[in-house]
Structure 1
Amino acid sequence: MGVTKVEVRHEDFSLEEEMAALRRQDQSAGAAVSFVGVVRNRNQGDRILALELEYYPGMTESAIRTIVSDARKRWEIEDVVVIHRVGRLAIGEQIVLCLVTSEHRGEAFSACEFIMDWLKTEAPFWKREQTPKGLRWVEARESDERSRDRWKTPGQGA
């Protein structure tokens, strides 16, 4: 089994540094897929000035590790890095990194997408957006739940 790195932190991350660290450790992977989420300037038609993220220490990391473990059961993947930032983030700042390596690209792409779809709905983060009208909590989206649910197998719980 490869490396699993899960971090929740205030500090920014470097995709290049995380990728280089994995490549130094394990050179058997033929594919490395990454996703970086950034703070956008609009949501639900409104202008966003900043995003604030809160989390439940320990519980959040555990939830992410469970998601990664589920991905490992579905696909033959090597290494997984998930770094999620918290605190106040400005427009354009990085929020989350998901990096997955595997022998072949299909496994890495699927596992990365699965991890992000489940992280978005199942990891305990709370988000508030700063808008010109003030702060507002970000509610779960039906589209995020549909993205997560497409990975469910018959008989699997909600």
Structure 2
Amino acid sequence: MGRHAGTTGPPSRRRRVGGGTPEAVSGAGGFTLLELLVSLYLLSAIALFILQVFIAGLFHTGRANERAAATMLASQVMEQVRASVNPYTMVGFTGLARSPLPLPAPYDAVQNPSPYPLEVAVVVAPDDALTLRTVTVQVFRPGQATPLVTLGTLLDDN
């Protein structure tokens, strides 16, 4: 009988030809090239999805910042109208046609600290039944027909 044929002892005392673990000897341990390529493909697909979500978030954040700047600008114009001694005579019947910044007098104190180019229009609509005037401030993106922000108030012309 040979040396290894009838060996019954603890596994730690057995010797293997070539050494290493049984998995390494048989080739069952570790990843194959195909497994690595599939995992790399899955990781890149997930990363691409996350990148698209991130870019969409940046786009919406920019739009929200632009809308906030337009709202601040409309509030400044509305405060100019309200701060006047006689707001009705300050803005006149025609209001202010759509104009880019800087605005002409009496709105020359209005500042746009944001990097967004915006245009402002002030519309004054008299109410013949009452002594009220409706003042509407509209802020536009250049080249767009619909306003980005619209603020309105009622003024008594007495």
Task: Report the TM-score when normalising by structure 1.
Answer: 0.24
State which structure, 1 or 2, has the greater radius of gyration over its C-alpha atoms: 2
More helix by share: 2
Q: Looking at both structures, which has the greater relative contact order when contacts are Cα pairs under 8 Å and sequence separation is at least 6?
A: 1
More strand by share: 1
Task: Report the TM-score when normalising by structure 2.
Answer: 0.24
